[in-house]
């Protein structure tokens, strides 16, 4: 079962992420949905109807419509003519939310302004204005969909407003639920990662049982005891295994001394002719250590004995 600290961490992370997502969704995303829906509604209108909304929106800036059709005889390529005081302005309306106004369209309207001796020009679109058009605007006022919507929005019927707000709210609620679910998943994931990073790491080999090496210097008179028969020492080096075998064999009855004559030969000095019981005991001490179990055993009788030296091997290679 997850700990209380784990659940608290996951919950705090989820609340922070969910809160940030909710704030963005309701303050930014929801308004963007209303704007996008309103621009789509304008784009669905006939061009003349949407153009009238644009002209009405520009009335707050002092513009009035001069006529609602272009004058081809005068070379005026704008869609509409506007008056502001004694000045004449050209208005070009580009309908469609996918419309992209580029520098060539700006240049086209700029030439029309010069040809008609107008005071200025306005290029309005429900879509977007590309960077090159803004950079080379040539004195033309550029209005894209995001800028145009706040000007037109107050002029739309209340019923259309309510419909746009309702649709945007529905989408925002769905997005908010999804955001909180994702925030909860992220909170659990981050809490699990933090718990993993914070867990103490176990050094390699610490779980293995270790046997303390024998003291390098024994107290005077202290006898070194062999490892009890049947118990297998763990993590002993080869030298420690050799010492363990020497201790075990030296402690056997009838054994005077045991030592390693060479790396592969164990010298066992017996007090008399070695019995089979002594041989089995010596082999048992060797077989406790697999790496040394195949070592050669030299049974050395006393110097004054007529018994010959014997060699044996307790285990094959």
Instruction: Please indicate, yes or no, if residue 63 is contained in any of the structural domains.
Output: yes
- How far apart are alpha carbons 89 and 141 in whole angstroms? 11
Task: Select from 143, 171, 199 the last residue of a domain.
Answer: 171
- Residue 150: phi and psi, rounded to 5, are -60, -25
The answer on 66 and 158 residing in a single domain is: yes
Q: Is residue 142 located within the same domain as residue 22?
A: yes
Both tokens of 37, joined, read 């829906």
187 vs 175: CA distance, rounded Å: 18
Q: How many CB atoms lie within 10 A of CB 179?
A: 20
- Domain total in the chain: 2
User: What is the domain extent for residue 267?
Assistant: 238-313
**Is residue 88 in some structural domain?**
yes
pLDDT for 2 equals 72
Torsion angles phi and psi, residue 2, rounded to 5? -60, 145
Flag whether 218 is in a domain: no
Same domain membership, residue 268 and residue 165: no
Same domain, 44 and 135: yes
Regarding whether 167 and 243 lie in a shared domain, the answer is no
Region of 92 (left: φ > 0; alpha: ψ -120 to 50; beta: rest) is beta
165 is a domain residue:
yes
On whether residue 105 sits in a domain, the answer given is yes
Domain C-terminal end among 122, 137, 171:
171
Q: Are residues 267 and 147 both part of a single domain?
A: no
231 domain-assigned: no
* Boundary (domain end) residue, out of 156, 171, 186: 171
Q: What 8-state DSSP symbol labels residue 178?
A: H
Q: Are residues 160 and 259 in the same domain?
A: no
Closest CA to 256 of 239, 276, 273: 273
What CATH number does the domain containing 300 carry?
A: 3.30.300.30
- 131 and 266 part of one domain: no
256 plus 148 within the same structural domain: no
Residue 115, classed as helix, strand or coil, is helix
- Chunked into runs of 10 residues, the chain (317 residues) has average pLDDT values of 84 94 96 94 90 91 75 52 91 90 92 90 95 90 94 91 94 97 94 75 46 43 48 70 90 88 87 83 88 85 79 78
Of 173, 170, 105, residue with least CA distance to 143: 105
For residue 100, list its beta bridge partners. Answer: 128
Helix, coil or strand: residue 211: coil
263 and 165 share a domain? no
200 within domain boundaries? no
For 51, counting Cβ atoms within 10 Å of its Cβ (0-12 exposed, 13-18 middle, 19+ buried), the class is buried
Tell me, yes or no, whether 18 and 138 share the same domain.
Answer: yes
Specify if 150 maps to a domain.
Answer: yes
Torsion of CA 165, 171, 173, 176, to 10 degrees: -130
- Domain CATH number, residue 76: 3.40.1350.10
Are residue 48 and residue 159 in the same domain, yes or no?
yes
Rounded CA-CA distance 250/269 in Å is 9
């Amino acid at each position: 079962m997850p700990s209380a600290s784990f659940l608290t961490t996951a919950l705090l992370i989820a609340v922070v992420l969910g809160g940030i997502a909710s704030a963005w969704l309701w303050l930014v995303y929801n308004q963007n949905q209303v704007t996008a829906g309103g621009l789509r509604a304008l784009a669905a209108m006939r061009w003349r109807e949407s153009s009238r909304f644009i002209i009405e929106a520009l009335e707050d800036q002092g513009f009035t419509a001069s006529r609602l059709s272009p004058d081809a005889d005068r070379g005026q390529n704008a869609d509409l003519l506007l008056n502001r005081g004694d000045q004449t302005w050209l208005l070009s309306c580009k309908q469609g939310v996918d419309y992209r106004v580029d520098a060539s369209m700006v240049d086209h309207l700029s030439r029309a302004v010069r040809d008609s001796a107008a005071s200025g020009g306005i290029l309005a679109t429900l879509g977007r204005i590309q960077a090159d058009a803004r950079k080379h605007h040539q004195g033309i006022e550029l209005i894209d969909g995001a800028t145009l919507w706040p000007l037109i929005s107050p002029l739309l019927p209340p019923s259309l407003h309510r419909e746009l707000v309702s649709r945007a709210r529905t989408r925002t609620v769905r997005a908010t639920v999804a955001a909180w679910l994702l925030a909860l998943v992220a909170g659990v994931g981050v809490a699990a990662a933090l718990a993993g990073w914070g867990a103490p790491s176990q050094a390699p080999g610490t779980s293995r049982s270790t046997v303390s090496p024998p003291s390098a210097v024994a107290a005077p008179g202290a006898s070194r005891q062999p490892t009890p028969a049947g118990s297998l020492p763990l993590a002993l080096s080869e030298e420690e295994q050799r010492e363990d075998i020497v201790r075990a064999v030296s402690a056997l009855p009838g054994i005077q001394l045991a030592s390693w004559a060479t790396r592969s030969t164990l010298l066992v000095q017996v007090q008399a002719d070695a019995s089979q019981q002594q041989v089995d005991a010596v082999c048992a001490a060797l077989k406790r250590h697999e790496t040394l179990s195949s070592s050669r055993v030299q049974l050395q009788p006393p110097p004054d004995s007529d018994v010959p030296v014997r060699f044996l091997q307790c285990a094959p290679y």
